[in-house]
Structure 1
Amino acid sequence: MSRNWLGQQERGSLLLMRLITWIALNIGRPATRLLLAPISLYFLLFSGKARQASRLYLRRALAREPGWADVYRHYFCFSATILDRLYFLSGRHTLFDIEVHGVEPLLACLRRGQGCVLLGAHLGSFEVLRTLAVEFGKVPFAMLMHTDNAHKMNAIIDSLNPEMAGSIIAMGSPDGLLRAKEVIDAGGIVGMLSDRVRPGDKTLPCRFFGQDAALPDGPLAFASITHAPIFLCLGLYRGQRHYDVHFELLAETIDAPRARRREAIHGYLQQYVARLEHYCRIAPYNWFNFYDYWQAGQTE
């Protein structure tokens, strides 16, 4: 099994992805959702490594041995959020019933002109945040993310939402962190999915479902440099057209002497992982890291 998620090839041809996008946007969501069952069944049968990783995770999240139906449901949930991503990107958020929890502290920061860091994860859908654009107002926004293994999906994003594509800052780019800090300094939001390790990342061990997993310390190190408030943000898919968006304040700021900064970051990173575990138990089929999460990054 691949120890690195970047080693997983992006499945599906760009032509097929564009065809599904056309069907989704022109025929409609109810009809397009009929494709999810055969797509999920295909991956259940023919993606052995991902299927094994799904079982490893579900065994922990469900606290029992997962069956084929559980793995299928895991794939189906993933497929559903990928489909819905097309509607969020194209501004069709009125198709969904979205309940937002805990956003007021974030809005209070933005009203004060204080920039914020949002830590997400491959848990549910981060794109559902687009539905809160009106509440966020005209604040600068950037998404600091890995783009190395999603060129086809990025091409779809470019075509559906050029404005959003322009807000993506590639992780590891020479001026990436500087551009992200400029967004914070302007009172804006920088979002990061903070649950995956990239080769070369510095990592810290965190207890996740009773076993150590390596997580990158970079997102929280960035937040400590900017002195910005840090919020956890997750958009959980709850079936059909329902999403629950959860915001939680993780830290007003990471303010520690240089000698103890890494120790402080470790504490907040463990807090972040503990909340991920909490939400994984609430919505276990929303976890979309289809590789051995407890082995990946251990030697980085």
Structure 2
Amino acid sequence: MMRSAWARRGERGNGFVLRLMFWISLDLARAVGRVLLKPIALYFYLTDRPARRASRLFLERALGRPVGRGEVYRHFSTFSAVAFDRAIFLAQRADDYRIDIHGLEHVVARIEAGQGCILLGAHVGSFEVLRKLGRFAPVSVRPLMFRSEAGVLSRMLDDIDPGMRDAVIDIERPEAMLKVRDCLAEGDLVGILGDRIPSGHRFVTMPFLGGQAAFPTGPLLIASLLKAPVLLFSGLWIAEKHYEIRFEPFAESIELRRSRRTEDLAVWVERYAARLETTARAHPFNWFNFYDFWEHPQHAAMRS
């Protein structure tokens, strides 16, 4: 079975270091935990050469110029800050955070109409900030994801908030699509991240930041099969304790003609890739795919 680049790398992390940081952050003082962020980011920066290379490759494409070590370290540091805040959000201790929301009217319109929709995002910024927003919404936010690919960090976050863990719909379960269908019928929001290719799943290559990158077809195929409207979303880290959530319309309905199903699906994936490129250029340090995003999955599988 083909193994995608991100699945082969997994979520890297020293479990002891991460658990120590979260224990200090949640049980002692958040200020102490924040002090540890810089040395932890530096540790991963110094010890993960492939991630450093991937960061530099991405940043140079997104910024359109050469980047130095300081900007690569800043990329690692932003990821560390967001990982720290994921724990804070799940522990419900983010009352003093500033969260700016743009495009909320698009979500409100769906809720008022009693119509569920798919929130399509990427590994850019924080999904947990959206979960925080969902705590105050009259409907549920249900992430659809591959739980078998979860790494050290994800398992630790599950331990912090088992309730949020239970909200996840595991796409590998046989009843997953029925659950998604029922959630949408009840007017709930289903979150999907559409930028990584799970092992053995179909993909298409699209122009992205000056190269050809592979994107999964699954998320948009699900939207088409369930006839669900799609909104794009992102939860962007702006500064310490400051996030920005953005929603924007993407599709009222994704229609795939029987005779041109593959071509139509590729058109929708290309639209998604184009919008993701805009976000990546505007907020490059929020990009958290620390692997060669332009490496063709089949080529990666040959070397694994």
TM-score, normalising length: structure 1: 0.93
Q: What is the CA distance between 1:22 and its match in structure 2?
A: 1.4
Q: What is the CA distance between 1:108 and its match in structure 2?
A: 0.7
Q: What is the CA distance between 1:9 and its match in structure 2?
A: 4.4
Query: In structure 1, what is the equivalent of residue 276 of structure 2?
Result: 276
Asked if 1 retains the 8 angstrom alpha-carbon contact of 2:89 and 2:129, the reply is yes
Provide the secondary structure at the position in 2 that maps to 1:204. strand
Hey, what's the Cα distance between the residues in 1 that align with 2:97 and 2:227? 35
Query: In structure 1, what is the equivalent of residue 196 of structure 2?
Result: 196
Q: Pick which of 110-119 and 260-269 moved more.
A: 260-269
Query: In structure 1, what is the equivalent of residue 56 of structure 2?
Result: 55
Asked if 1 retains the 8 angstrom alpha-carbon contact of 2:4 and 2:199, the reply is no
Asked if 2 retains the 8 angstrom alpha-carbon contact of 1:231 and 1:248, the reply is yes
The verdict on how the C-alpha distance between 1:144 and 1:250 changes in structure 2, with shifts beyond 3 A counting, is same
For residues 8-157 of structure 1, the aligned pairs below 5 Å read 8-133=9-134, 136-137=137-138, 139-157=139-157
Provide the secondary structure at the position in 2 that maps to 1:274. helix
Q: What is the CA distance between 1:134 and its match in structure 2?
A: 5.1
How many residue pairs get matched? 298
Provide the secondary structure at the position in 1 that maps to 2:148. coil
1:273 partner amino acid: A
Asked if 2 retains the 8 angstrom alpha-carbon contact of 1:254 and 1:264, the reply is no
Alpha-carbon RMSD? 1.8
Query: In structure 2, what is the equivalent of residue 247 of structure 1?
Result: 247
Hey, what's the Cα distance between the residues in 1 that align with 2:272 and 2:84? 27
2:276 partner amino acid: L
Hey, what's the Cα distance between the residues in 2 that align with 1:45 and 1:157? 24
2:188 matched to 1:178?
A: no
Q: What is the CA distance between 1:83 and its match in structure 2?
A: 0.1
Hey, what's the Cα distance between the residues in 1 that align with 2:105 and 2:136? 10
Structure 2: stretches of 5+ with no match in the other structure: none
Q: What is the CA distance between 1:13 and its match in structure 2?
A: 4.4
Q: What is the CA distance between 1:256 and its match in structure 2?
A: 3.4
TM-score, normalising length: structure 2: 0.92
Hey, what's the Cα distance between the residues in 1 that align with 2:225 and 2:286? 31
Hey, what's the Cα distance between the residues in 2 that align with 1:186 and 1:259? 32
Hey, what's the Cα distance between the residues in 2 that align with 1:13 and 1:193? 25
Per-residue CA deviations over 1:110-133 (Å, capped at 9, x if unaligned) read: 111111001111101111012322
Asked if 2 retains the 8 angstrom alpha-carbon contact of 1:196 and 1:215, the reply is yes
2:229 matched to 1:229?
A: yes
Hey, what's the Cα distance between the residues in 1 that align with 2:97 and 2:72? 25
Per-residue CA deviations over 1:215-253 (Å, capped at 9, x if unaligned) read: 001000000111111011101101211111110110011
Hey, what's the Cα distance between the residues in 1 that align with 2:10 and 2:107? 36
Q: What is the CA distance between 1:187 and its match in structure 2?
A: 1.4
Per-residue CA deviations over 1:122-181 (Å, capped at 9, x if unaligned) read: 1011110123225531x2332111223324334323322121100112232222222222
Q: What is the CA distance between 1:3 and its match in structure 2?
A: 5.7
2:185 partner amino acid: D
1:32 partner amino acid: G
